[in-house]
């Protein structure tokens, strides 16, 4: 009885908190929606001062999704590779030590990542950008003539490094949970180790992998400081990865909130509401993917 009460209370608290956040965001955002002289969802720029405020979420929302998606694209294959190495290939003692270090990496504050990434990767990313432009410049995403450096690419790489530990650490746990019987079944059929991993380990962990990727995506979408430090803050929608550009909802809020007046803050909160909606949709989509395969699911 006591447990049931506690569980119900804790469960409903989660819903209440989410609802409270949503209500707060909506209430604070209403003045901004009312006085915006442009379409909030399609306008790209952000001018909240003066008598005719003109601002919209389009560029920042696009930048948020673009940098997060690119970061996932870079981080997930690497993270899954590391996780499999640790769970199935490395010697146990090496694996334990490395896992510990990776968990430590997950605890590094994002501002440190941002500063480090900006200093450390600026040069390499500039060179990489030049090279990409020279070799595959006919692709629009690599079409920029420069200046290179602070770009979507740099931001995404730093973001990828930030989400790498969490995705690695969670998917390693998932891989380790594959039942011994299933792995032996695959081996006894004459599979190589890699075939066994493809037959038994990865399918079994699919739901867990999706969950870990979604957590990584959640972190990437909401990341603020690291991107404020590494992106070029250009309010535009283009698929240019190399040139100066990129802005995200969170980094825009971080850049402006301090100096914004009452109305400016309301506008920024309105953009926060959109971010909230995006993460909610992403999480629900992930849930749906996991749920759809529930009959076949090993861990979920």
Partner 1 sequence: MAKRIEAHGVTSYYGSFKAIDSVSMTIEPKSVTALIGPSGCGKSTFLRSINRMHEVLPNARIEGQLLIDGQNIYDRDVDVTAVRRMIGMVFQRPNPFPTMSIFDNVVAGLRLNGVRKKSVLEEIAEKALRSANLWNEVKDRLGRPGAGLSGGQQQRLCIARAIAVEPQVVLMDEPCSALDPISTLAIEDLITELKNQYTIVIVTHNMQQAARVSDRTGFFSIEKTGDPGRLIEYDDTAKIFTNPSVKKTEDYITGRFG
Of 66, 64, 42, nearest in space to 54 by CA: 42
199 is a contact residue toward partner 1 (CB under 8 A): yes
Q: Phi and psi for 46 in degrees, rounded to 5?
A: -140, 85
Can you count the helices (H) and strands (E) in the chain? 11, 2
Note whether 200 binds partner 1 by CB under 8 A. yes
Closest approach of Cβ 202 to partner 1, in Å?
Answer: 9
Q: Quick check: 87 and 172 in contact, CB under 8 A?
A: yes
**b/e map of 53-74 (b: 16 or more CB within 10 Å)?**
bebbbbbbbbbbbbbbebbbeb
| Residue from 35, 95, 130, 182 in contact with partner 1 (CB under 8 A) | 182
Which range touches partner 1 (CB under 8 A), out of 11-19, 75-83, 137-145, 176-184?
Answer: 176-184
With CB under 8 A as the contact rule, the residue among 10, 14, 15, 188 that binds partner 1 is: 188
68-107 footprint of partner 1 as x/- string (CB under 8 A): ------------------------x---------------
Cβ proximity to partner 1, 4 vs 180, nearer residue: 180
Question: What is the chain's Cα-based Rg?
Answer: 22
The span from the CA of 238 to the CA of 137, in Å, is 15
Query: Which region, judged by CB under 8 A, interacts with partner 1, from 23-31, 99-107, 189-197, 229-237?
Result: 189-197
Residue ranges binding partner 1 (CB under 8 A): 92, 179, 181-182, 184-192, 195, 199-200, 203-204, 206, 293, 295-298
């Amino acid at each position: 009885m006591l447990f049931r009460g506690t569980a119900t209370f804790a469960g409903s608290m989660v819903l209440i908190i989410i609802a409270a956040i949503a209500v707060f965001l909506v209430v604070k955002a209403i003045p901004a929606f009312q006085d915006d002289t442009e379409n909030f969802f399609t306008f790209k720029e952000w001018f909240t001062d003066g008598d005719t405020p003109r601002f919209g979420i389009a560029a920042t929302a696009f930048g948020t999704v673009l940098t997060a998606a690119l970061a996932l694209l870079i981080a997930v294959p690497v993270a899954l590779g590391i996780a499999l190495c640790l769970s199935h290939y490395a010697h146990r003692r090496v694996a334990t030590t490395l896992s510990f270090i990776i968990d430590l990496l997950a605890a590094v504050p994002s501002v440190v990542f941002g500063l480090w990434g900006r200093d450390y990767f600026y040069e390499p990313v500039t060179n990489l950008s030049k090279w990409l432009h020279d070799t595959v410049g006919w692709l629009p995403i690599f079409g920029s003539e420069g200046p290179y450096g602070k770009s979507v690419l740099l931001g995404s790489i730093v973001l990828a490094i930030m989400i790498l530990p969490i995705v690695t650490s969670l998917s390693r746990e998932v891989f380790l949970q594959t039942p011994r019987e299933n792995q032996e079944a695959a081996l006894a059929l004459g599979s190589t180790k890699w075939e066994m991993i493809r037959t038994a380990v990865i399918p079994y962990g699919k739901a867990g992998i999706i969950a870990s990727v979604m957590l990584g995506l959640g972190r990437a979408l909401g990341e603020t400081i690291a991107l404020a430090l590494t992106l070029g803050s250009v309010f535009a929608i283009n698929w240019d990865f190399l040139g100066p550009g990129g802005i995200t909802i969170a980094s825009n809020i971080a850049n402006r909130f301090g100096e914004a007046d009452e109305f400016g803050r309301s506008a920024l909160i309105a953009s926060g509401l959109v971010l909230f909606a995006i993460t909610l949709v992403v999480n629900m989509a992930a849930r749906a993917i996991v749920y759809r395969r529930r009959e076949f699911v090993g861990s979920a």
